[in-house]
Amino acid sequence: EVQLVESGGGSVQAGGSLNLSCEISGYIDSRYWSTYSMAWFRQAPGKEREGVAGIDTDGRTKYSDSVKGRFTLFKDNAKNTLLMQMISLKPDDTAMYYCAADPQTTELLSLYEYNNWGQGTQVTVSS
């Protein structure tokens, strides 16, 4: 069973930055790490969960238009961790952020592609 644990959320003012981390564990062989596509999703109160940024097994990344140029993904293979650097944060970025992983994805930012989810970490951006 794959387990995902997010961390790094918090409260910042508009224009600030945060770094989110997602550690993946639970699989038998560490080689499986490279076979998982991973992504960050977010869900604001009253809104649907949306894909923010994802990275496939070849290291290719995809970002939603709303965060492109402000959010960047990094994979730390030594620590089995997916990092997301967020800069120039806006109040609209306020949401619960979830990490997701799956060995078989065709659309990185579609929540229906993922069967493994973390519990989420809250990001709040004040104006």
- The confidence band for 26, taking pLDDT boundaries of 50, 70 and 90, is confident
> Out of 23-27, 38-42, 123-127, which region has the weakest mean confidence (pLDDT)?
23-27
The tens digit of pLDDT for each residue in 71-93 reads 999 988 778 899 999 999 999 99
Q: How large a percentage of the chain has pLDDT more than 70? A: 94
Question: What is the per-residue pLDDT across 38-64, written as a single tens digit (0 to 9) for each?
Answer: 999 999 999 999 999 999 988 899 999
What pLDDT shows up at residue 40?
98
Whether the Cβ atoms of residue 106 and residue 119 lie closer than 8 Å to each other: no
What is the longest distance spanned by two Cα atoms in the chain?
45
